[in-house]
A and B are shown apart, each in its own frame.
Chain A
Amino acid sequence: MRKLGVSAYKEALLLLRDWGGLAILFFMPSVLIITITLIQESTFKAVGESLLPVVLVDEDGGEIGELVAQNLAQADNVQLVTEERGRPITDAQARGLVSDGKYQIALVIPAGLSAELNDKVNHNVERILGEFALTDADSAAQRLPRNRSWEAKEITIYFDPAAGQAFRSGVKNNIERMLSKVEVQKIYAVFIDQMALEEDPGLLGDDIINFRETIAQKGEDGIIPNAVQHNVPAWILFGIFFIVVPLGINLVKEKNLGTYIRLRTSPVPYAVILGGKIITYTVICLIQFMLMLLIAKYVFPLIGLIEFDPGSQLPLMVLIAFVAGLAAIGLGILIGTIAETQEQSAPFGAIFVIILAALGGVWVPTFIMPAVMQQVSAFSPMNWGISAFYDVILRNGTAADIAQPLGYLLAFFIATLSAAIIYDKRKRTN
C-alpha cells in the first residue's frame, strides 16, 4: 500500500513540476471549452440572431423583386444590401463580392420574373375559376390550355465558398420559405381580383396550423435543454480524454530516461507502478472536470453565454467523469507502453483522441451520421461518455440509466490496461 502511495505521490510531483503537462491538462481544456462554446454560440447567432448582410440584385424591377426586398427587410436577422458605393449592384458585381468573401450571400432576381409569374398565376387562376363557369369570361377560360409552358426563370443564390454546408442549407431553406410565401401572396391577390371580392377575407393573416416544441424528459423538474448543456459535457469529455497525451509521454520518458529499468528491477509488481499513475491521473481528471464545470457555471455568464447548472445531477456527473477518466487513462497507458518515442506517442495520442471525439459525437451528433459511421460510433468510448452525460443532464436519467455506458467505459479501461501489461510482459519474454 505504501509503495502504491509513494508511486502516486511521485507522479503528482512529476506533474506539478511539468508546466507544459499542466497546461495541457488544465489550461488548454479550459481555453477549449470557452472558445468552442463562444464560437458555436456566435455561429448560431450569425444564423439566428445577429444581422446577416444579404445582397439583393433586382433585375426584375417588378412585384416579385419588391416583395422579396420587403420580406428580407422585415426579417429580423437580415441586413438588405442593394447598393455598392451609391450604385445598384449588378449580377456580376454580386458574384464578385460574394466570391471575395465580402458578403456570404447574394440573391439575383432575373429580369421578367414578375411578368412571367403574373402570367402564370393569372393563367392558372383563370383556368381554375373557369372550371366553375361563374361568368361568360369563365366559360372562355375553360378553354385555356391545361399544360401551357413558360420560359424557365431562376432566382440565383450566390454563396461564399467558405460558407459551410449547414449554413448554406439553413439560408436556402429560409429563402425558399420566403419565395413560397411570395408566391402564395401573389396567387391569393389574383384570386381576390378575379373573384371581384370587395373585401379581403384576411385568410393570410393567421397560420392555420401551429406547432408547439416540448422536450420529452423524465420527471417534471428536468433542466430545460440549451446549447451549453449539449456543448459542456462533450467538451469536458474531450478534455478528459486528452490526458492520453501527457500520460503517454510520461511512460515513454521513463523508458528513455532509464527509470523504467529501475522500476522493473525493483521488487514491485508493474501493476503497482501503473496503479500510482492511475490514482494520480484519476485525481487530475476529476480536478479537470470540476474546473471546466466551474468555468461553465461561473465564467460563461460573464462572457455572455448561458450558465451551465448541473443541478441535482452533479454526483452522477462526477461518477461519469471518474469512469471516463479511467477509460482515458487505460488508453494513455496502452499508447505509452507501445510507443518507443515521444514523437510516436504524442501525435498519435492527440489524433486518436480527435478521431474518438469525432466518432463519439462531440462535433456532429451521432444520429445524423451515415449508418456505417453510426455503427462505428457505437465502439467509441467518447460516445459512451457523451451518452451517459446526456442521459443524466438532458434526460434526467438515474444511475440505473447510465449503468450500461459506464460498464462499457469500465470494460474499456480494463481491456486497455490488460493489453498494456500483456504487451509489456511479452516484450520482455520474447
Chain B
Amino acid sequence: MSKLSAAILFVIKAHIAAHSGAMGKISNADNGQKDKLKCSGYFVSVPYLRAMEQIIRVHGLSKRYAGSDRYALNGLSLAVRKGEIFGLLGPNGAGKTTLISTLCGMIQPTAGELTFDGLDYRKHRQRIKRHIGVVPQEYALYPTLSAEENLNYFGSLYGIPRKELKRRVADGIRRVGLDDFAKRPIKTFSGGMQRRINLLAGILHNPTVLFLDEPTVGVDVQSKEVIMTLLHELHQQGTTIIYSSHHLNEAQHFCTRIAIIDEGRIVTEGEPGQLIASVAGATTLENVFIHLTGSHLRDYA
C-alpha cells in the first residue's frame, strides 16, 4: 500500500513537472525492467522516477557579453533531471559554451533564473561548485606535473581527505589503464592518455552533475572506449551528465535526452528517438540537426 502511495505521488509530481516547465514528455517506461511499478496505466522505473526530479532548472536565461550587441543566450529555459545524460548540441556560436560556463558557475548571466537542486546560483555558488565536475575540451592539466600530481592537486581543491584521495587517484588511474604512467609528466602522454586523465580530474570528487565538453575529441578508438565505459559506469551510479559535442552520432547513442540549441535558445529537446521521429524522413540525429539549424555556415568573430 505504501509503495503504491509513493508511486502515485511520484507520478503526480512527474505530471506537474512535465507541464510546469520546458521539459520533455513523460513516456511509457519500456526500459529499465527492474523495480517496475504499475500506476494509472504508466510503467515507471525507479531510475526514471529519480529522473523526474530536476537537478538543474534554467528559466529565461540571457547573456550578453560586454561590447557585443548580440545575445549569446536569449531567454533560454530548460530543466535537467537527476540521473540523465543530457546532450547539449548546436552549431558554432549557438551558445553551448556560454550555457555550460554559466551552469558551471564560471560566468554570471545577464538575466534569468538558475537553480541547482533548488539552490540559487547567485546565493550558493561555492556550495553548488562542490557538486559539479567539469571536463573541459582542453586537456586542462599541468604538462610538467605527473598524472598523479595533477589528480592529487585537483582532488585536494574539493577537500577530499588525503588517504581517500590517494586511494581514488590510484583507483582512477588503474581504471583508465595508466598505472604504469602515473608518475610520468603529462606532457609525455598521447592525446588519448591526456583525455583519460582529464576525465579523471573532473570526477575524483564524485560530482552529482558532470559537465563534459567534447570528451572524446581527438582520441584513438581504444581511449574512446575506456572513456565511454567510465561515463556509462558513472551514469549507472546515478551521476547526471551534461554532454556537449559536435559528434552527433556519439550523442545519439550516448544521451538519454538531447536539447538542440541555436542562437541562444532551445530549438528542440527530447529523447534521441523522439527527435528523429519528429522530423519526416530523418533517420539520424544529424538529419534532425540540419533540419532545425540549417546548412549555412556559422562564423562568429
Q: Are B143 and A257 in contact (CB under 8 A)?
A: yes
> A264-B106, A269-B126, A428-B107 are known contacts. Are A3 and B140 too (CB-CB below 8 A)?
no
Residues of A within 8 A of B144 (CB): 13-14, 17-18
Q: Are A13 and B149 in contact (CB under 8 A)?
A: yes
Q: How far is the CA of A305 from the CA of B8 in the complex (A)?
A: 91
B141 to chain A, nearest CB (A): 7
A430 at the interface (CB under 8 A from B): yes
Within 8 A of B (CB), among A1-43: 2-3, 6-7, 10, 13-14, 17-18
A265 to chain B, nearest CB (A): 4
A267 at the interface (CB under 8 A from B): yes
Residues of B within 8 A of A262 (CB): 134, 136, 140, 154, 201-202
B105 at the interface (CB under 8 A from A): yes
A259 at the interface (CB under 8 A from B): yes
A205 at the interface (CB under 8 A from B): no
Residues of A within 8 A of B42 (CB): none
Task: Specify which of B127, B132, B136, B185 is in contact with A258 (CB 8 Å cutoff).
Answer: B136
Binds A, one of B19-27, B155-163, B171-179, B224-232: B155-163
Q: Are A430 and B65 in contact (CB under 8 A)?
A: yes
Interface residues of A (CB under 8 A from B): 2-3, 6-7, 10, 13-14, 17-18, 257-259, 261-269, 428-430
Q: Are B141 and A259 in contact (CB under 8 A)?
A: yes
In the complex, the chain B residue whose C-beta lies closest to that of A254 is: B142
Task: Specify which of A7, A258, A428 is in contact with B140 (CB 8 Å cutoff).
Answer: A258
Residues of B within 8 A of A10 (CB): 142, 145, 149, 153
Q: Mark B96-110, 1 if CB is under 8 A from A, else 0.
A: 000000001111100
11 A-B pairs besides A261-B136, A262-B202, A428-B107 with CB distance below 8 A are A3-B156, A10-B145, A13-B144, A14-B144, A17-B145, A258-B138, A258-B140, A262-B201, A266-B158, A267-B157, A430-B65
B66 at the interface (CB under 8 A from A): yes
Interface size class of B (residues with CB under 8 A): 20 to 34
B293 at the interface (CB under 8 A from A): no
Q: How far is the CA of A263 from the CA of B150 in the complex (A)?
A: 12
Residues of B within 8 A of A269 (CB): 126
Q: What 6 pairs across the A-B complex have the smallest Cβ distances?
A: A258-B138, A430-B66, A258-B140, A17-B144, A267-B129, A6-B156
In the complex, the chain B residue whose C-beta lies closest to that of A268 is: B157
Within 8 A of A (CB), among B199-253: 201-202
Q: Are A265 and B139 in contact (CB under 8 A)?
A: no
A428 to chain B, nearest CB (A): 5
Task: Specify which of B65, B130, B145, B201 is in contact with A13 (CB 8 Å cutoff).
Answer: B145
Task: Specify which of B104, B127, B157 is in contact with A6 (CB 8 Å cutoff).
Answer: B157
Residues of A within 8 A of B66 (CB): 430
Q: How far is the CA of A10 from the CA of B65 in the complex (A)?
A: 33
Q: How far is the CA of A400 from the CA of B142 in the complex (A)?
A: 44
